[in-house]
Amino acid sequence: MTFKRLAALAGAGVLAVGIVSCSSTGGKPAGSGDGGSGGGTVDTPRMTIAMITHEVPGDSFWDLIRKGAETAAKKDNIELRYSNDPEAPNQANLVQSALDSGVDGIALTLAKPDAMAPAVKAATDKGIPVVAFNSGFDNWKSMGVQEYFGQDEKLAGVSAGEKLNADGAKKVVCVIQEQGQVALESRCAGVTQGFKGQTELLNVNSKDMPSVESTITAKLQQDPSVDTIVALGAPIALTAVQSKKNAGSNAKIVTFDTNAALVDAIKSGDVQWAVDQQPYLQGYLAVDALWLYLNNKNLIGGGQATLTGPSFIDKSNIDAVAELAKGGTR
């Protein structure tokens, strides 16, 4: 099956989920006076859901996830308790704290599954439903998590590699901003698989953005044959734009994930394109799926991950999402 066929099926699946979520949650019609972007609110008993992520401070990608989660929570009469920590042991502790506080459900990311496994088991042992999103595509099911919302990171990487082929790239550097983060490593592995040219990995520390800039600058200065930098997040891509200028390089910048600033960078041509996994949708579906399960024992995906990507944003379609990005939903 071709990638285009896979992408079409994934898109259709997400659309179907969206229709089910809107039609089966019992929400009042839009315009019923709630004032939110999610339409009306349900009249089911109020419940509490914890959302716990590996969010890195300063990365506005996570604002989109949180906005989607908050929209679903408002519609579903849910108290949403959002917390985050980029360090996996600390994230696991946040899960335990949520359990101790008596939440009804947990939505979490699994950037480092091994470190999160005991906390997930503690939740499932207590009968607390757990859904995962954004990170952990290869691990969620074996950990006892009941649903997953996100993209197949390896598939996204392969499709990015194929697009690089179409762009005529010959040598790319894939920048990993956090070693051991399974989603990031899967992306670069996919790029390496799908790209016919030469791929090099470059590890940087996203907690020290000046060092990220200097490291990418040094790489471009040392190796003028690098014609493309593949970033795995919008802040890294925007930093790479400055690194390119510092080095006097002609390398192109492409990336995974978007934010409002990246929209302007694509418009200006500083960044060629971005792989979009629809973070707003991930946050929304994670919360709404827990509401559906807790109220009606519904499960989305038929035991498989519900794909929210990948798709590509470039100059050909950037205008369609620009206003939405400014509003904080794309």
Answer whether residue 256 is part of any domain: yes
Q: Quick check: 15 pLDDT over 90?
A: no
Identify the CA nearest to 236 among candidates 188, 204, 266.
204
How many structural domains does the chain have?
A: 2
Examine the domain organization and report whether 94 and 172 are in the same domain. Answer: no
Distance (Å, whole) CA 62 – CA 65: 5
Kindly state whether residues 117 and 96 are assigned to the same domain.
Answer: yes
Question: What number is the average pLDDT over the span 107-136?
Answer: 97
pTM: 0.83
Residues 207 and 298 occupy one common structural domain: no
With vertex at residue 169, the alpha carbon angle to CA 167 and CA 172, rounded to the nearest 5 degrees, is 130
Residue 294 lies inside a defined structural domain of this protein: yes
Domain assignment present for 38: no
Q: Which domain holds residue 237?
A: 153-276
In a domain, 102, yes or no: yes
pLDDT value at 42 more than 50: yes
pLDDT at 40 over 90: no
Q: Say what the pLDDT of residue 39 is.
A: 52
Where does a domain end: 276, 300, 324? 276
Statement: residue 315 has pLDDT above 90 = yes
**pLDDT tens across 58-79, in order?**
788 899 999 999 999 999 999 9
